[in-house]
Amino acid sequence: MNALGTHLLLELKQCNPHHLDDLDYIKDAMVGAAQAVGAQIIGQSFHRFNPQGITGVLAIAESHLSIHTWPEYGYAAADIFTCGTSFQPKDAAQLIIDKLESKDPSMQIIRRGIEAPAPVTSS
Amino acid sequence: MNALGTHLLLELKQCNPHHLDDLDYIKDAMVGAAQAVGAQIIGQSFHRFNPQGITGVLAIAESHLSIHTWPEYGYAAADIFTCGTSFQPKDAAQLIIDKLESKDPSMQIIRRGIEAPAPVTSS
């Protein structure tokens, strides 16, 4: 049973709350993780909200990474969606976990595009 | 049991394959869905790949939307991640399903940040 994409959903609890509200730190964590595993970044958007919290999305040639942080809860939700086998998403996940100093990380792996229908033929 | 975010994972099969390879169409579908439900767009990145397929990520004040398309399989994986209750993510999902003319859509709803630890107090 083939899947077209692998989607890691990271629940990062008990992170260092200072990191979670630091725009440059979060950007470095996500861009750094993508670069370290060899992903090709093709677009990015990072924002800090008032009074707190950061959202970041990173389009990569292999799909995307995203993060949303709640400094007030020491919590971040990060996603790594990959297609192909050019890098191991778990390697990027571990880098993000380490960088955010999460003491209670968990990960859900969802395979996307399973049991794809037969290829479309042009009419 | 509270959740900080609601994450819809859309498996969109049997889409119109022509739409799935049309950068402007996909961008309009995603931006249009976000705008129609009242999401505040704060950043975006859409790309068409060679020979085919599109990736798009949309940062919104309420979290993010993303899409990855496989025209050759008539398949797209779309995500809608929201926090707060300012809009119903299912409404945005239905707009995307309709726009891509998916004849076999399915949706998984994942609550993110469940059982968040007690708020962090500043030291």
**What is the value of pTM for the model shown?**
0.93
**Domain ranges in chain B?**
2-97
Considering chain B, what is the average pLDDT of its residues? Answer: 93
Which regions of chain A does DSSP assign to beta strands (E)? Answer: 5-13, 41-48, 54-60, 63-70, 75-83, 104-112
Preceding peptide of A51 cis, ω within 30°: yes
The helix (H) or strand (E) run that includes residue B35 is helix B23-36
Predicted local confidence at residue B92, as pLDDT = 97
pLDDT at B116 over 60: no
pLDDT at B55 over 70: yes
Average pLDDT estimate for A27-56: 97
A66 pLDDT tier (thresholds 50, 70, 90): very high
A119 pLDDT tier (thresholds 50, 70, 90): low
A78-114 pLDDT tens trace: 999 999 888 899 999 999 999 999 999 999 999 999 8
Q: How far is A25 from chain B (nearest CA, A)?
A: 18
Interface residues of chain B, partner chain A, Cβ below 8 Å = 4-5, 7, 9, 11, 13-14, 17, 42-47, 49, 55-61, 63-64, 66, 68, 70-75, 77, 79, 81, 83, 104, 108, 110, 112-113, 116-117, 119-120
CATH 3.60.90.10 fits A2-97, yes or no: yes
Interface residues of chain A, partner chain B, Cβ below 8 Å = 4-5, 7, 9, 11, 13-14, 17, 42-47, 49, 55-61, 63-64, 66, 68, 70-75, 77, 79, 81, 83, 104, 108, 110, 112-113, 116-117, 119-120
The three-class DSSP label of residue B89 is: helix
Higher per-residue confidence, A97 vs A115: A97
CB atoms within 10 A of CB B18: 13
HSE toward the beta carbon, residue A34, CA cutoff 13 A: 28
Q: Six-digit token pair at A102? A: 């999460």
pLDDT at A13 over 80: yes
